[in-house]
Amino acid sequence: MRILRFQTHTFAAPKTQASMAGTITFTMIKPEAVAAGNSGAILNKMEGAGFRIVALKKIQLSAQRAGKFYEVHAERPFYGELVEYMSSGPIFAAVLEKENAMSDFRALIGATDPTEAADGTIRKEFAESKAKNAVHGSDSDENAALEASFFFSDLERF
Ligand code: RTP
Ligand code: MG
């Protein structure tokens, strides 16, 4: 009797440039900017500056998950306020791709405090205040990878 052997396949996640070092960053459009109806205009600025949207979702963080995301700021005086604010309404989370993604994106969003942000930056145009500053941008390639994985699996990135 012939024995049929089924070949087993290993399914690897599709390889995209998004997995290469330095080419991805992570962003959130923060609750007040989403509530103000600025999500489309902000995404338009990101794409217009050459960032490709690899992954995107609208989601509301629980206080616990916002606290985990911003754990690095746990000792800062604004931590409680930050966690409350970031869990106060839905956000858009996104993974973006471009050469030098992290540093180019930090330049595009501008300084944390919109009064110090350069003309043409997203925070200059859309931020309400230093706390409610419209968008998040990762501050290192390592954090970009960690933050992207906090929200998205490989199957959600294209
Ligand atoms: P982000 O992480 O959101 O991209 O902002 P960032 O690097 O420019 O600033 P960071 O120092 O990491 O602070 C994280 C967020 O905390 C809020 N914040 N409030 N009230 C305050 O003095 C104060 N300072 C910071 C902001 O929402 C800031 O983006
Ligand atoms: Mg930061």
Please report, for the chain, the start and end positions of each structural domain, with discontinuous segments joined by +.
31-156
Q: Which residue has the tokens 């199957």?
A: 155
Ligand 1, atom 19: closest residue by C-alpha: 131
Q: Which residue has the tokens 């929200």?
A: 151
pLDDT tens string 49-85: 999 999 999 999 999 999 999 999 999 999 999 999 9
Q: How far is the CA of 69 from the centre of ligand 1 (A)?
A: 12
What's residue 142's pLDDT? Answer: 97
What's residue 15's pLDDT? Answer: 45
Average pLDDT over residues 83-110: 98
Share the mean pLDDT of the chain.
91
Q: How far is the CA of 9 from the centre of ligand 2 (A)?
A: 41
Ligand 1 pocket, residue 133 CB under 6 Å: yes
pLDDT tens string 8-33: 444 444 444 444 449 999 999 999 99
Q: How far is CA 37 from the centre of its chain?
A: 18
Which among 45, 141, 31, 38 has a CA at the least distance from the CA of 93?
31
pLDDT value at 103 more than 90: yes
Which of 73, 133, 143, 146 should be mutated for ligand 1, with most atoms under 8 A from CB? 133
**Which ligand is located closest to the Cα atom of residue 129?**
1
Q: How far is the CA of 56 from the centre of ligand 1 (A)?
A: 22
Q: Give the C-alpha separation, 83 to 68, whole Å.
A: 9
Answering whether pTM is above 0.85, one says: yes
Cα angle, residue 21 at apex, residues 15 and 23 outer, rounded to 5°: 80
Band (pLDDT 50/70/90 cuts) for residue 7 is: very low
Average pLDDT over residues 125-144: 98
Tell me the residues surrounding ligand 2 (ion) with CB < 5 Å. 139
Instruction: Please name the CATH architecture into which domain 31-156 falls.
Output: 2-Layer Sandwich (3.30)
Ligand 1, atom 6: closest residue by C-alpha: 112
Average pLDDT over residues 28-42: 98
What's residue 141's pLDDT? Answer: 97
